[in-house]
Structure 1
């Protein structure tokens, strides 16, 4: 066999050995990294869009009504006259809006 024949026979094996790690990296990116980045961006948008009067739940499970907002904090009324100050990052989700839309 000539050198050129050996080189042509070895070439496809060289390319395929790089295909598997690239495929694994693509699967990891599209099924693990990208969805997490999307969730993180959605959470950041939600926290920036908070408004007075929203019913929220904190990451600790405390339910309340937003009565005051600043750049970094949120004042939540959990009962009549009981106001607590939280970082915006402590707000997990808003409640009541989707339930009200579903009922209508």
Structure 2
């Protein structure tokens, strides 16, 4: 009986290790990023994936308008391009 299933133990072990070390943490990161992007609101200070800092002035579906720089230049970006929300602790 053991010989029939003995050849499956090692591949199943590798699959389990692969899942818990690679796939599951990646899914958690993706969920956290998705939740962050869905909770954006007007007035949040963000950093885009390109490194641009700005304040959100308008959100419409999957498009965000931000103000950047001292002259308040307006940029329209896709919601997926938001890399991070700058917290108050990080900006001081």
When normalised by structure 1's length, the TM-score is: 0.80
List gaps (5 residues or longer) in structure 2. none
Between structure 1 and structure 2, the one with the greater Rg is 1
In structure 1, what is the equivalent of residue 82 of structure 2?
91
RMSD across aligned positions (CA) = 1.5
1:64 matches 2:54: yes
1:38 matches 2:43: no
**Any idea what the Cα deviations from partners look like across 1:22-60, whole Å, max 9, x if unmatched?**
000001111101111111111111101001111110000
| Moved beyond 4 Å, runs of 4+ | none
More helix by share: 1
How many residues get paired? 91
When normalised by structure 2's length, the TM-score is: 0.89
Q: Which has the higher contact order (CA 8 A, sep 6+)?
A: 2
Distance 1:53 1:42 in 2: 21
